[in-house]
Amino acid sequence: MYGAIIGDIAGSRFEFDNHRDKRFTLFHPLGFVTDDTVMSLALAQAVMEADRLMPLRGPDYELLLAQKAVSCMKSIGRHYPDCGYGGRFYRWMFSARSQPYNSFGNGAAMRVSAAGLAARTLEEALAMSDALTAVTHNHPEGIKGARATTLCIFLARQGHSQADIRRRVEQEYYRLDMTVEGLRPVYRFDATCQGTVPQAIVCFLEATSFEDAIRNAISIGGDSDTIGAITGAIAQAYFGVPEDMKEQAAGYLDERLLAILADWDASGLGQGRPT
């Protein structure tokens, strides 16, 4: 969870003023948490609540998880009306309706960390990803973007190499025929999954450490906080997150979000590699 949060914080001040260089202050006074962090933690809360009710994750678990995703995103998200929601998601958030709206926006991928971190098998990870995503982003490209992100997180937790992860993504989801250096001068803001997730994955694949992955993500420009959140989530699963970075990131969260993060840490979900 820290990976998505740190990527979001690092990219927050550059979303509409891109910084195409790896040299910048990671935790800056002007940094802040956006909807990427709020929704990532809301879905972490949904997973925890579903697991308390159905710890063995039986046949109806995905239905329960989807219900919890809706309730947690709305109950938590409504406390942060100015955190950067997209227009359609904002209307969904603050309305009485709970139907999905066929979105393929990159919000599907930026919030899905919990599925890749908490799943016990790859099949379960993808089913959880679908349940958490389809409540809003039920367009095939929205489902695909979240699934690709979840796949990367899960495989990273299992100890797969970056080369193995690249191969699986290219076989099942996206062409990754790009480089960070090649993206940096030409990539532009794109709020879709298909225009964000492959780029974020490449930023992880070329990284040599967690911090390097975040710096890659911010340096290509575009939707910087969301690219940072997606890359950071995968990089956390692969490299881990230094304790000092966790402490610095926590300083950007209010008491409500800190409480969810503390509960997530205490739950043990996503700790270590699945068997």
Domain span at residue 194? 2-267
What residues have CB less than 8 Å from 121, skipping those under 6 apart?
274
pLDDT at 273: 46
The reply to whether 274 falls in a domain is: no
pLDDT at 159: 95
Q: What are phi and psi of 192, to 5 degrees?
A: -90, 160
Two structure tokens written together for 214: 């975040």
The reply to whether 95 falls in a domain is: yes
Could you give the C-alpha distances from 60 to 44, 66, 67, 119, 133, in angstroms and in order?
19, 10, 11, 16, 17
The reply to whether 273 falls in a domain is: no
Per-residue pLDDT of the chain (275 residues; tens, 9 = 90+): 999 999 999 999 999 999 999 999 999 999 999 999 999 999 999 999 999 999 999 999 999 999 999 999 999 999 999 999 999 999 999 999 899 999 999 999 999 999 999 999 999 999 999 999 999 999 999 999 999 999 999 999 999 999 999 999 999 999 999 999 999 999 999 999 999 999 999 999 999 999 999 999 999 999 999 999 999 999 999 999 999 999 999 999 999 999 999 999 999 887 644 43
The reply to whether 275 falls in a domain is: no
pLDDT at 271: 66
pLDDT at 272: 47
Q: What are phi and psi of 2, to 5 degrees?
A: -60, -35
Mapping DSSP to helix (H, G, I), strand (E, B) and coil, where does residue 99 land?
coil
The reply to whether 139 falls in a domain is: yes
The reply to whether 164 falls in a domain is: yes
Count the domains in the chain: 1
pLDDT at 270: 73
The reply to whether 132 falls in a domain is: yes
The reply to whether 124 falls in a domain is: yes
CATH number at residue 167: 1.10.4080.10
pTM of the entire predicted model = 0.96
